[in-house]
Structure 1
Amino acid sequence: MPTPSAGYPTPSLFTLQNGRGMQATISARGGTLTKLLVPDKSGVLGNVVLGFDDPATYASEAYESKNIYFGALIGRYANRIRHGQFTLDEQTYSLPINNGPNSLHGGPQGFDKQQWAAQPGTSADGPTLVLHYQSPAGEEGYPGTLSVTAVYTLTEANVLRISYSATTDQPTVLNLTNHSYFNLDYGLSSNILDHELRLLADRYTVVDNTAIPTGELRGVGSSPFDFRAAHRIGERMAQVPGGYDHNWVLHDYLRPHSALAAEVYAPLSGRTMQVHTDQPGVQFYAGNFLDGSLQGHGGIAYGPNYGFALETQHFPDSPNQPSFPTTVLRPGETFESTTEYHFGVRE
């Protein structure tokens, strides 16, 4: 049974632990994964996600002003919506602008800033934390009262699973993800550029200069976006203006079932991570905008590329892109999705 962690008011911070020693610590504020302890090739536990030792830092102006979202649950709409507007059933909705000319990650008071109701428990697969949030109609401009549940489960196979479900009383749009930044060599290297990444995707969404998709799904072949075979993250990143922060279109992206989307290997620690999801896309972000001004776990300054994100998702700006998979949720429907992070080692 997960328990509230010492040194923080009950019931805001919870730690899940399996029988192999792996631990996941989650805050009810934002449903945030604040720490994840995973064994390395020598069996030594170490943290692999960016975050803060003091939970109060997540609510500080110095952190919130940077729109970094370490470990948070993101909604109502993960990623960007062009000009903060979309039309649904002939009605146009306006959202807060918080990323250049666009709306990002649900707006400045998105799900990452909200206090979720938290209920620890157990399941056949391992300890769980059930988080629930009810988003009122009109919150950050989105229609409909939305009831959202996210369940963290830590299995004996060293898998961290996040299962999402949601219902609405009015037609709305929805795109949920977790925004953890990973560094499988945390504390051993100044960046993640030597991590080896494989993405099971042969296309990506081409974007304009404000990171909004043009509508083109371009093949990755003969480009620095081709991770169909594993490459070092830093190997070709200089060829991408601004670095990697793009949505990849996963193989068989309309599949209804979960499948392998990405895998990462860190050579110093020997840790590996596989990401399985039933979502059609994944945003790979290489931490290009980390600037060293924030100090995280262990007093480490998070400079450029200290961590990477693999945000499983629907495509950016889907409400304005009719050719993309729909993100519309209607009354009587239930949105359901699962993403899993499988951890292991390679000698």
Structure 2
Amino acid sequence: MNITEQVTVNEWKEVTLTNDTGMSVSFLNYGGTITGINVPDQNGHVENVVLAYENYEDYIDDPNYLGALIGRVAGRVDRASFSINGEEYHLQENEGTNSLHGGEQGFHTKLWELSPFQEEDKVGVILTYDSPHLEGGYPGNLSIQVTYQLNNKNEFTISYSAKSDQDTALTLTNHSYFNLSGDAKRTIHDQTIQFDSNQFVELDANLIPTGKIESVQETPFDLREETLLRDKLGSTHPQMDLANLGFDHSFLFNHDKEESVVVKDGKSGRVMKLMTNQPAIVFYTGNNLMEDHKLASGPAKKHDGMCLETQASPASLHHEGFPDVRLKAGELYEKYTTFSFEAL
């Protein structure tokens, strides 16, 4: 196992974690952006299973948030405002009148401090950033540690730890686009997915939660059994239609199974299992990827990748009954998501 580092454009650092089985994970200190998760297929052929830009400069002003750490609040905050303890806070409006993924200067734009570590059975890096009071409009001085860790079981874990000196709002995630075909040779249509989830969140025309939590029963959102994405993408269901004929929805986890999500690609034999202590996930199927963004694999295409954004729900700032993003002063925020890879 080892850790290597190189300098890229703009004097950014790119770190690569490599285990003893041939898997590696690469990421930038800029935005904590994951540029590569390289895993073997059923024939031992190692390829990248996340989308990455050919030119790293494209990460600077990236509407797709490719591979980035997202915060302070992942997702859309309705009307770019919320109240805590009777005081209203106004955020940057960067998607219509709403605030998306922490605003234009969210955590995806920050240079994170890196502290590598290596143990007998794992390697990793601790990324740290201190977000000052009212950065992005959010209250509280917030100290954050995010750990990227790879072990010899081909498990890549992202752990999040944070503490604020004032009551605030926080839910962190990673915005990698997964495609298990390897190097995005094919779209995600012929990959299967399975969620441990009975409920999804209804959206309005602006992709803001309406406040309703719906059953997946007898809808395209029923992914409780292994489901071929080709059978769902392009559905004329009203909720799929407003998301540009795909998923861009939050699912609430049952947490009845160890794996909250299982993704498979039959042709390569790759399987990815996701374990997390997060209460929910935003499942986004790359509905708005455009060819004017040049990926390492070629021009981007609709449905080239899927995002599995484990998080709580920004809807909790305006509606009851949703997984809460509020963090009390002095309370420790501790979340993790593990992506485990194997081959059939």
The interval holding the TM-score normalised by the smaller chain is over 0.9
Distance in 1 separating the partners of 2:306 and 2:44: 23
Distance in 1 separating the partners of 2:258 and 2:92: 34
TM-score in terms of structure 2 length: 0.94
SS at match of 1:317: helix
- Are 2:204 and 1:203 equivalent residues in the alignment? no
Match of 2:271 in 1: 272
SS at match of 2:111: coil
Contact 1:293 1:303 (8 Å CA) reproduced: no
Distance in 2 separating the partners of 1:76 and 1:38: 30
Distance in 2 separating the partners of 1:264 and 1:280: 19
Q: Which runs of 5+ in 1 are unaligned?
A: none
Distance in 2 separating the partners of 1:35 and 1:331: 35
Letter in 1 for 2:176: S
Letter in 1 for 2:275: H
Pick which of 211-220 and 116-125 moved more: 116-125
Match of 1:51 in 2: 52
Distance in 1 separating the partners of 2:198 and 2:216: 5
Aligned length: 336
Q: Which runs of 5+ in 2 are unaligned?
A: none
Calculate percent identity across the aligned residue pairs: 36
- Are 2:288 and 1:283 equivalent residues in the alignment? no
Pick which of 144-153 and 186-195 moved more: 186-195
Match of 1:310 in 2: 308
1:248 deviates by: 0.5
Distance in 2 separating the partners of 1:233 and 1:86: 36
Match of 1:137 in 2: 133
Distance in 2 separating the partners of 1:123 and 1:331: 33
Distance in 2 separating the partners of 1:117 and 1:183: 29
1:58 deviates by: 1.3
Contact 2:314 2:324 (8 Å CA) reproduced: no
Distance in 2 separating the partners of 1:183 and 1:322: 35
List aligned pairs for 1:91-130, cutoff 5 A.
Answer: 91-123=87-119, 125-130=121-126
SS at match of 1:234: helix
* Alpha carbons of structure 1 residues 124 and 204: separation in structure 2 relative to 1, 3 Å: farther
Letter in 1 for 2:272: M
Match of 2:142 in 1: 146
Distance in 1 separating the partners of 2:121 and 2:251: 30
Give the RMSD, CA atoms, in angstroms.
1.7
Contact 2:313 2:324 (8 Å CA) reproduced: no
1:216 deviates by: 1.5
Match of 1:342 in 2: 340
Distance in 2 separating the partners of 1:181 and 1:316: 21
* Alpha carbons of structure 1 residues 138 and 18: separation in structure 2 relative to 1, 3 Å: same
